[in-house]
Amino acid sequence: MKQILVLCTGNSTRSQMAHGYLHHFAGNRAHILSAGVETHGLNPKAVQVMAEDGIDISHHTSNLVDEYAHLPIDYVITVCDNAREHCPVWIGQAHVTHQNFTDPSRAVGSAEEVMDTYRAVRDQIKQFCREFIQQHVPL
Protein backbone atom coordinates (compact mmCIF):
# COMPACT_ATOMS: atom_id res chain seq x y z
CA MET A 1 0.00 0.00 0.00
CA LYS A 2 1.33 3.42 -0.96
CA GLN A 3 1.84 6.00 1.78
CA ILE A 4 1.13 9.59 0.75
CA LEU A 5 1.87 12.69 2.83
CA VAL A 6 0.29 16.04 1.97
CA LEU A 7 2.33 18.96 3.28
CA CYS A 8 1.27 22.58 3.71
CA THR A 9 2.24 25.49 5.94
CA GLY A 10 -0.26 25.04 8.78
CA ASN A 11 -2.08 21.79 7.96
CA SER A 12 -5.31 23.71 8.30
CA THR A 13 -7.01 24.08 4.92
CA ARG A 14 -5.36 23.05 1.63
CA SER A 15 -3.56 19.98 2.92
CA GLN A 16 -6.68 18.91 4.80
CA MET A 17 -8.81 19.20 1.66
CA ALA A 18 -6.23 17.24 -0.32
CA HIS A 19 -6.08 14.62 2.43
CA GLY A 20 -9.85 14.18 2.20
CA TYR A 21 -9.91 13.87 -1.58
CA LEU A 22 -6.87 11.62 -1.84
CA HIS A 23 -8.45 9.27 0.70
CA HIS A 24 -11.74 9.40 -1.21
CA PHE A 25 -10.17 8.60 -4.59
CA ALA A 26 -7.62 6.04 -3.36
CA GLY A 27 -9.85 4.17 -0.94
CA ASN A 28 -7.93 1.32 0.66
CA ARG A 29 -5.16 1.43 -1.98
CA ALA A 30 -3.20 4.13 -0.12
CA HIS A 31 -2.68 5.46 3.37
CA ILE A 32 -3.03 9.24 3.40
CA LEU A 33 -1.44 11.57 5.94
CA SER A 34 -1.32 15.35 6.11
CA ALA A 35 0.92 17.68 8.04
CA GLY A 36 2.27 21.18 8.21
CA VAL A 37 5.58 22.84 8.88
CA GLU A 38 3.50 24.51 11.62
CA THR A 39 0.07 23.64 13.03
CA HIS A 40 -2.82 26.07 12.80
CA GLY A 41 -5.75 23.78 13.66
CA LEU A 42 -8.45 22.55 11.33
CA ASN A 43 -10.13 25.40 9.43
CA PRO A 44 -13.94 25.29 9.90
CA LYS A 45 -14.55 26.78 6.44
CA ALA A 46 -12.53 23.95 4.89
CA VAL A 47 -14.65 21.45 6.80
CA GLN A 48 -17.80 23.19 5.55
CA VAL A 49 -16.92 23.29 1.84
CA MET A 50 -15.70 19.70 1.89
CA ALA A 51 -18.96 18.59 3.52
CA GLU A 52 -20.82 20.38 0.72
CA ASP A 53 -19.07 17.94 -1.65
CA GLY A 54 -19.78 14.90 0.52
CA ILE A 55 -16.31 14.58 2.10
CA ASP A 56 -16.14 14.62 5.91
CA ILE A 57 -12.83 15.96 7.23
CA SER A 58 -14.22 17.08 10.59
CA HIS A 59 -12.29 14.32 12.38
CA HIS A 60 -8.91 15.39 10.93
CA THR A 61 -6.24 16.87 13.16
CA SER A 62 -3.53 19.42 12.43
CA ASN A 63 -0.15 17.67 12.69
CA LEU A 64 3.51 18.66 12.43
CA VAL A 65 5.49 17.03 9.64
CA ASP A 66 8.11 15.82 12.14
CA GLU A 67 5.52 13.40 13.55
CA TYR A 68 5.92 11.32 10.38
CA ALA A 69 9.73 11.34 10.09
CA HIS A 70 9.93 7.67 11.08
CA LEU A 71 7.49 6.48 8.41
CA PRO A 72 8.37 5.20 4.94
CA ILE A 73 6.62 7.77 2.75
CA ASP A 74 6.24 6.97 -0.95
CA TYR A 75 4.88 10.32 -2.11
CA VAL A 76 4.95 13.81 -0.65
CA ILE A 77 2.63 16.40 -2.14
CA THR A 78 3.41 19.99 -1.19
CA VAL A 79 0.36 22.18 -1.76
CA CYS A 80 1.90 25.59 -1.08
CA ASP A 81 5.20 27.24 -1.93
CA ASN A 82 6.11 27.77 1.74
CA ALA A 83 5.85 24.04 2.49
CA ARG A 84 7.95 23.27 -0.59
CA GLU A 85 10.67 25.65 0.62
CA HIS A 86 10.63 24.19 4.14
CA CYS A 87 10.20 20.54 3.20
CA PRO A 88 12.31 18.44 5.62
CA VAL A 89 15.40 16.75 4.24
CA TRP A 90 14.20 13.24 5.17
CA ILE A 91 11.36 13.68 2.72
CA GLY A 92 13.98 13.64 -0.03
CA GLN A 93 13.71 9.85 0.06
CA ALA A 94 10.15 10.08 -1.23
CA HIS A 95 8.88 11.19 -4.62
CA VAL A 96 7.93 14.85 -4.15
CA THR A 97 5.20 16.53 -6.19
CA HIS A 98 4.50 20.23 -5.86
CA GLN A 99 1.25 21.97 -6.73
CA ASN A 100 0.73 25.43 -5.27
CA PHE A 101 -2.88 26.30 -4.46
CA THR A 102 -4.09 29.75 -3.43
CA ASP A 103 -4.63 30.04 0.32
CA PRO A 104 -8.38 30.61 0.67
CA SER A 105 -7.97 31.68 4.30
CA ARG A 106 -6.52 34.93 2.93
CA ALA A 107 -9.60 35.66 0.82
CA VAL A 108 -11.28 39.02 1.32
CA GLY A 109 -14.73 40.31 0.51
CA SER A 110 -18.22 39.46 1.64
CA ALA A 111 -18.89 36.20 3.47
CA GLU A 112 -20.22 34.70 0.24
CA GLU A 113 -17.20 35.87 -1.78
CA VAL A 114 -14.87 34.30 0.77
CA MET A 115 -16.78 31.01 0.64
CA ASP A 116 -16.71 31.12 -3.17
CA THR A 117 -12.92 31.33 -2.95
CA TYR A 118 -12.86 28.28 -0.67
CA ARG A 119 -15.07 26.40 -3.12
CA ALA A 120 -12.89 27.34 -6.10
CA VAL A 121 -9.73 26.14 -4.33
CA ARG A 122 -11.55 22.99 -3.18
CA ASP A 123 -12.51 22.20 -6.77
CA GLN A 124 -8.93 22.72 -7.99
CA ILE A 125 -7.63 20.42 -5.24
CA LYS A 126 -10.27 17.81 -6.08
CA GLN A 127 -9.21 17.69 -9.72
CA PHE A 128 -5.52 17.52 -8.82
CA CYS A 129 -6.14 14.69 -6.34
CA ARG A 130 -8.25 12.69 -8.77
CA GLU A 131 -5.52 12.89 -11.40
CA PHE A 132 -2.75 12.15 -8.89
CA ILE A 133 -4.43 8.95 -7.72
CA GLN A 134 -5.20 7.86 -11.29
CA GLN A 135 -1.55 8.30 -12.19
CA HIS A 136 0.23 7.04 -9.05
CA VAL A 137 -2.20 4.64 -7.35
CA PRO A 138 -4.01 2.88 -10.20
CA LEU A 139 -6.70 0.26 -9.67
pLDDT at 139: 81
Tell me the pLDDT of the chain (139 aa) as tens digits: 999 999 999 999 999 999 999 999 999 999 999 999 899 999 999 999 999 999 999 999 999 999 998 899 999 999 988 777 766 666 667 899 999 999 999 999 999 999 999 999 999 999 999 999 999 998 8
Q: Is 87 a catalytic residue?
A: yes
Helices 44-52 and 111-136 cross at an angle (nearest 10°) of 70
Query: Among residues 57, 80, 129, 133, which one is catalytic?
Result: 80
Nearby residues of 104 by Cβ (< 8 Å), 6 or more positions away: 13, 14, 45, 46, 114, 117, 118, 120, 121
129 is catalytic: no
65, 87, 91, 137: which one is catalytic? Answer: 87
pTM assigned to the model: 0.94
The domains of the chain, with CATH numbers, are 2-136 (3.40.50.2300)
